């Protein structure tokens, strides 16, 4: 591997996964669990189109019919994962939309993480180190992060938006004497988001 090839950091994908978990935590009812119930739900969302559901799941229309009728009940691992993923992606869209609306207009989001943060010279209390941080992020930052996720932003883009939100809320504390402070945010061990 040459010096121009970048390898993705091991924490990539954690921000997207945390945002997805936060949305799913707002569900008021559990999503269907059995393959038949999931298939029926997906067919309802697709207005009965077996072709649309088959394309989303990567299976034949006949397979969709077998699960809907109950003739087949135990999917292979790949189909089981696809069913669970598609069901959760489409489950309770109004509840999910209300949670996003609240986060982007008045509530903001809460970000908890353990990561490397640094903004000062070595040997000072501001030197970079691993920190556990829980911080309420403003609705404007929440709106930017959620909009980027919805439009398919890369993990790097999401990382930059979350880093800026944490820096503003925790380190810069809304401006003051630290308005121009540059904060390094790297090596994310874990990250959780809640609405």
Residue 176 pLDDT greater than 60, yes or no: no
Q: For residue range 113-123, what is the model confidence (pLDDT) as tens digits?
A: 998 887 766 66
Left if phi > 0, otherwise alpha if psi is -120 to 50, otherwise beta: which for 174? left
Task: Report the 10 Å Cβ neighbour count for 150.
Answer: 10
Taking the C-alpha atoms of residue 80 and residue 72, their distance in angstroms, rounded to an integer, is: 12
Beta bridge pairs of residue 116: 130, 186
Average pLDDT over residues 150-168: 88
CATH 1.10.260 positions along the chain are 30-91
Nearest partner of 180 among 189, 195, 191, 167, judged by Cα: 167
Exposed/middle/buried for 136, CB within 10 Å: 0-12, 13-18, 19+?
Answer: middle
Q: Which tokens sit at 40? A: 């029926």
Whether the Cβ atoms of residue 41 and residue 80 lie closer than 8 Å to each other: no
pLDDT tier, 55 (very low <50, low <70, confident <90, very high otherwise): very high
Fold of 30-91: 434 Repressor (Amino-terminal Domain) (1.10.260)
pLDDT per residue as tens digits for the range 72-111: 888 989 999 999 999 988 999 999 899 989 988 888 899 9
- pTM equals 0.74
Q: What is the mean pLDDT of residues 166-174?
A: 80
Q: Which long-range contacts (CB under 8 A, 24 or more apart) does 123-132 make?
A: 128/184, 130/187, 130/189
Which two tokens mark 167? 């820096």
Judge contact between 179 and 172, C-beta under 8 A. Answer: yes
Neighbouring C-beta atoms of residue 194, cutoff 10 Å: 16
């Amino acid at each position: 591997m040459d010096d121009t090839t970048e390898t993705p950091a091991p924490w990539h994908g954690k921000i997207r996964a945390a945002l997805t978990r936060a949305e799913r935590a707002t569900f008021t009812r559990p999503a269907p669990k059995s393959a038949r119930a999931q298939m029926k739900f997906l067919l309802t969302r697709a207005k009965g189109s077996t072709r649309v559901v088959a394309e989303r799941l990567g299976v034949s229309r006949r397979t969709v019919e077998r699960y809907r009728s109950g003739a087949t009940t135990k999917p292979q691992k790949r189909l089981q994962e696809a069913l669970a993923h598609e069901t959760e992606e489409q489950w309770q869209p109004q509840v999910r939309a209300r949670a996003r609306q609240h986060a982007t207009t008045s509530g903001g989001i809460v970000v908890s993480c353990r990561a490397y943060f640094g903004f000062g010279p070595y040997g000072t209390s501001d030197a970079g180190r691993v920190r556990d941080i829980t911080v309420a992020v403003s609705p404007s930052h929440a709106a930017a992060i959620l909009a980027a996720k919805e439009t398919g932003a890369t993990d790097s883009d999401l990382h930059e938006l979350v880093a800026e939100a944490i820096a503003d809320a925790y380190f810069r504390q809304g401006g003051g004497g630290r308005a121009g402070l540059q904060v390094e945010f790297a090596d994310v061990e874990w990250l959780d988001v809640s609405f």
